[in-house]
Amino acid sequence: MEFITAAFVGLLGILIYLLIKYPDRSIGTKPRTDLNGPKGYPLIGNILDIYKDNKGLLMFMCETLTKYGPNATFTLPGLGRVVTINNPECIEHVLKTNFENYYKSPALYSIVYDVFGDGIFNSNGNAWRMQRKLSSHLFNGRNFRNIFCVVFEEETKIVLNTLDKLARTGETFDLQDLFFRITFGLDFNCLKNLKDPVKFATSFDFAQRVMNDRVENPFWKITELFTEKGHKMRKACDYLSTFAYDIIKNHRNNPEALKDPRDILNIFMNAQHDNGEKLTDKELRDVVINFIIAGRDTTAQTLSWMMYNLMVNPSAEEQLIKEVNSLLTSENTISNYENIKLFQYTQAVFHETLRLHPIVPKSLRICLKDDVLPNGVPIYAGEMVNWSSWSMGRDERIWGNDARQFNPKRFLNSEDGLKPSQYKFISFHAGPRICLGQNFATVEAIMLATAVLKQFKFEMVPGQKCPPDYARSLTLPMKDPLLVKVHHRQY
């Protein structure tokens, strides 16, 4: 009995000590009285602020930015001290000037590892450099003309045929789901019946939601052991891995595919490490999964938000259609790589969509050594820096008083032009890790959008929320279906 009493008193003493040491921040973090930010709770920091009103981490970040400015701070269990760097100068410092000092943290690596493995989005150092070097070979001009643009044109024709059938029947359908089905770059055979779920898509989207939830739950490794969500996550990850390994296996067993110089997977299957060894099946599996999210989510989600914005901004749609009709004819209904640059207003609509609806809405890095940002704010080793492209796109200090309005002309009339500073327009990331596929995504989206909008007009089904809520995920899909009807455009 005396032992139990002593143990209880000891534990109580430790708890009191910790409550005194961490009165408004998560355990293990140092105070930052030099920075403003929302006051946290003892030991757990600001984790409850994320769950308040079911707002989630992204909305919490945006509210913190709006209230406390571009350099604010908060603490979260598992992540520790987080300092926001939502201004172009600080972002350039972290992503370019002192690039080697800011890594993807072990905590975030663990959160997404069972899906992304050691792929390009989850790796650091030499592993990242090797994949970056290999990936860069994919996006040269020759590959664009001989491989990607051919695929884009084939995909666009499939979409046009599908929309023609839907226009004839007059049925209501989910436009976002349609875009997800035709932008995989792989044959899922999923356009035959739009009402049939695609197992890969449902597994992949579920896994992304769970990984996002893990960022907000420091105890996810424990809770997922005993919850239905954890069980479903393990099944989803097993399926995704099996799917990727089957692609690799089928490729190896197809001599004709192995000879095809246009085949993207061949580039990685024939690649070698510095020691001369080829990539293992595990490394190829990570490549497949990482490239699927890069090719699928970027285009499908951007097109969904783009079409929504045009439907609710008829003057923007009218101007875009005017440009499309001046550049495409009834004989040449699909643009090509050479004339994409002529669609300047369409590109402005594309960029404005990404400004307000960036596919990767939030990012985190860990500081390896003590550092000082350009504005004099110190970042200490072990602290996290955070920026949110979604929040920055709504920041009047960066984009002016109309920051929250959809205004494509801002890209036509700005000094930056159609390609603004990558540290201001952060939708494609920036610095050495800038998205290699940004030209890929731009060409694909504009080629498809211009061909579709020349022939068809979308009509939103009444009663839907405007603007749509985003789903809480690693990327930024719409939470609910984007229900529309499609009509043949009348001239």
Backbone CA torsion sign across 327, 330, 335, 339: negative
Residue tagged 């049939």 (tokens): 196
What's the CA gap between 420 and 331, in Å, rounded? 34
In this structure, which amino acid lies at residue 35?
Answer: L
How does DSSP classify residue 474? S
What's the CA gap between 208 and 214, in Å, rounded? 10
In this structure, which amino acid lies at residue 430?
Answer: A
Backbone CA torsion sign across 316, 319, 323, 326: positive
> 24: burial class by Cβ within 10 Å (0-12, 13-18, 19+)?
middle
What's the CA gap between 76 and 50, in Å, rounded? 10
Instruction: Compute how many other C-beta atoms are within 10 angstroms of the C-beta atom of residue 248.
Output: 19
From 410, 464, 442, 460, select the one nearest 302 (Cα to Cα): 442
Beta bridge partners of 386: 84, 364
What's the CA gap between 156 and 27, in Å, rounded? 53
In this structure, which amino acid lies at residue 52?
Answer: K
Beta bridge partners of 81: 75
**Which contiguous run of DSSP H or E holds residue 365?**
strand 363-367
Provide the annotated binding site for heme: 435
Provide the annotated binding site: 435
Residue tagged 């801002």 (tokens): 410
User: Which residues have C-beta within 8 Å of that of residue 44, sequence separation ≥ 6?
Assistant: 26, 27, 77
> 194: burial class by Cβ within 10 Å (0-12, 13-18, 19+)?
middle
Whether residue 71 contacts residue 65, with contact meaning beta carbons closer than 8 Å, is answered with no
* Tokens of residue 472, six digits: 């809480």
Q: How many CA atoms lie within 13 A of 361 on its CB side?
A: 26
* Tokens of residue 332, six digits: 């040449």
How many helices (DSSP H) and strands (DSSP E) are in the chain? Answer: 21, 10
Residue tagged 């534990």 (tokens): 11
What's the CA gap between 427 and 392, in Å, rounded? 10
